Structure 1
């Protein structure tokens, strides 16, 4: 088989590793697992189904119209709607990039025992060089494949020899654990949705389809990306929750630092586990950093009608590259202020959850437009899952800020 065929499906893998398993998920899953076990695993299942539906919808729209999701948001719903979505996405993404850079630096801290703050400049430089010099396909293949090291969390759960009956009971119980309240339980459910259905995933996926030149003949490849990539991300998310539950919950330990996400792997697999976890965290956060930067550059360029794209030389897409570079530098400066990455991440994913309806409405409308999509318009399954997901995210959007305030960010 040709190498191009072997790596044909890495866009979905990268979307999962760098979107589903980014710093938001590394933090949220460890927090949730330590406090609630698998009692919020159902949220991850719903998030996987929802993001698969809208990723497939966005990819199908790209294949038919050759236009990405955010571009259609502006033209379909007007510039004011697009501007609100753009500003909100830009602010949330800025916080996420800061946290992702901290995650990259953490991967170096895990193997050197030197504070992650020391590694922030190096992480920023690596991202800047990759943004400028590396081709799009090299990036998605490299960090998509390296990100598979995150499967070490699945192996770690097995090696921890948990009580499988207890794990199953936890996963099938929809209620807070002893000592936790329903508002805190609901807040962390929203946190998981914000971490696992981030708007930039869909923007990156659809814009990446434009970069790849998807057409109707590419629908099989696109759907394979969706069917493999996002469920893989969901599996990894639940594995992180389970590992944290087995190690931390019986001891009553709460996760207070992002390095604690990797500790269950070290307990289960020792130094080999630590090395694989460090590689996986590096790949996941590096991939997510690139995704968020690209998604922001795509959004701004598409809104203002600028030339954009990673497959073109940077000189031909100067404004696109400048936006991504400027966001990187601002985020690096924020990371060096010693703001707590966990608190920043929690706030960012909660606000991300609040923005979800703005991101999901345009593809749902366009996907149903027969004059645009023809025979490729949404079917009953896409519409059913899409409408239910949109309704759910509207409820999440309304509840997110009150619960953030009421629970003091999950503190209780």
Structure 2
């Protein structure tokens, strides 16, 4: 029974890292601008993420290394420092967006500007990390995050044309504004396949002390946990496609517009359920990102690390997530638009994917670390194809979107 309860690690990774401000914003923009046409990006990204998360758990179980440990040990400190610097920049941008998402959820519930909530939210994230344990965070976020199933309920209430929804799962070319279409596709892939997700998951496997009897549980956890997030993201695209275009909205410019997405299906309660979903999922993502940053830094430099240990036992680990939270809250407290930070950070995440994924693939094919549990050719091919696609699209479309305003 205990092993089956560990499936919550996949749910918390999914709720805290899959369905959060990035996935909500990019999915809503995709549905508003292109209807069901970009569902394929979520499906593709989810398939890749399932493979990567399963690989990260298999690597940690077989080698007793986390991914950060493995990169430093296999490739040396120079490559590790490069990976750390790039991932830190991306993580801090995304962490800022997640703190902004929690603050916006509180703004919708109270009417007070998100700026006023930024510091209390940051303090709450830090306090839970300082006083809590990995199990508390894992079980708590996965349980509370189930409120996000409201998006799936609302989708069925709206009754979409299912044949068109299914057609959207197949890649297609847009009939207008190709650069914007590609940019949103890149942003969805960036929101879905974030490197910190599988780095975090491998650390969670070590924290939970999974042994070689957990290979099957790991596969189930990765599959169902990430599929859970994928279904929610598809539901948001479907809802956005049905809610916004009839109201003449094809370009989402603020979270105020996204907040109304559940109202047509769930009535007046929709805004409150959306606000709570945004608040909980983004809070989980903020916890996960802060921990991921502390994990990769401490593991790479050989410091003591564990969320279950007292801060005085691993002070450097605790200092890293404290500094990360302080830096990330600054732009939100200063009033920068969380939606703009979110969309840009998701595209930059897609550009950074090869740096985190390719060394990991080498590790997964090295018998020195994983023994007989190396990757098959199909797993390698799937990951390389999707990461290459995301990187190529990002190289082309991100400059167009940034320089084009």
Which of 310, 313, 316 is the matching residue for 2:313?
Answer: 316
Which 10-residue stretch deviates more, 28-37 or 152-161?
Answer: 152-161
Would you say 1:228 and 2:230 are equivalent positions? Answer: no
In structure 2, relative to structure 1, the CA distance for the partners of 1:10 and 1:167 (3 Å cut) is same
In structure 2, relative to structure 1, the CA distance for the partners of 1:169 and 1:296 (3 Å cut) is same
Would you say 1:194 and 2:229 are equivalent positions? Answer: no
After superposition, what is the alpha-carbon deviation per residue over 1:270-305, rounded to whole angstroms, capped at 9, x for unaligned?
A: 233333322221221011001110111111112211
In structure 2, relative to structure 1, the CA distance for the partners of 1:190 and 1:407 (3 Å cut) is farther
Name the residue aligned to 1:391: 388
Task: State the distance in 2 between where 1:134 and 1:260 align.
Answer: 35
Count of aligned pairs between the two proteins: 404
Which of 90, 93, 96 is the matching residue for 1:95?
Answer: 93
Name the residue aligned to 2:26: 28
Name the residue aligned to 1:158: 156
Deviation at 1:208, TM superposition (A): 0.9
Task: State the distance in 2 between where 1:406 and 1:260 align.
Answer: 25
> Retained in 2: the 8 A contact 1:111–1:275?
yes
Deviation at 1:401, TM superposition (A): 3.6
Task: State the distance in 1 between where 2:198 and 2:108 align.
Answer: 31
Which of 346, 352, 356 is the matching residue for 1:355?
Answer: 352
Q: Could you state the TM-score of these two structures normalised by the residue count of structure 2?
A: 0.94
Task: State the distance in 2 between where 1:265 and 1:358 align.
Answer: 37
> Structure 2: where are the runs of 5+ without partners?
none
Which 10-residue stretch deviates more, 148-157 or 264-273?
Answer: 264-273
In structure 2, relative to structure 1, the CA distance for the partners of 1:318 and 1:278 (3 Å cut) is same
In structure 2, relative to structure 1, the CA distance for the partners of 1:5 and 1:222 (3 Å cut) is closer
Name the residue aligned to 1:131: 129
Which 10-residue stretch deviates more, 42-51 or 372-381?
Answer: 372-381
Task: State the distance in 2 between where 1:397 and 1:160 align.
Answer: 33
- 3-state SS, counterpart of residue 256 of structure 1: coil
> Structure 1: where are the runs of 5+ without partners?
none
After superposition, what is the alpha-carbon deviation per residue over 1:178-223, rounded to whole angstroms, capped at 9, x for unaligned?
A: xx31111111111111111111111111111111112211112211
Deviation at 1:313, TM superposition (A): 1.2
Task: State the distance in 1 between where 2:47 and 2:185 align.
Answer: 15
Name the residue aligned to 1:62: 60
After superposition, what is the alpha-carbon deviation per residue over 1:140-178, rounded to whole angstroms, capped at 9, x for unaligned?
A: 11111111111101111122233334444555461325x
> Retained in 1: the 8 A contact 2:3–2:214?
no
After superposition, what is the alpha-carbon deviation per residue over 1:77-124, rounded to whole angstroms, capped at 9, x for unaligned?
A: 222221111111111111111111111112222222222222222211
Q: What is the RMSD of the two structures over their aligned residues, measured on CA atoms?
A: 1.8
In structure 2, relative to structure 1, the CA distance for the partners of 1:406 and 1:186 (3 Å cut) is farther
In structure 2, relative to structure 1, the CA distance for the partners of 1:407 and 1:49 (3 Å cut) is farther
- 3-state SS, counterpart of residue 303 of structure 2: coil
Q: Could you state the TM-score of these two structures normalised by the residue count of structure 1?
A: 0.93
Deviation at 1:58, TM superposition (A): 1.2
In structure 2, relative to structure 1, the CA distance for the partners of 1:255 and 1:394 (3 Å cut) is closer
- 3-state SS, counterpart of residue 263 of structure 1: coil
Name the residue aligned to 1:40: 38
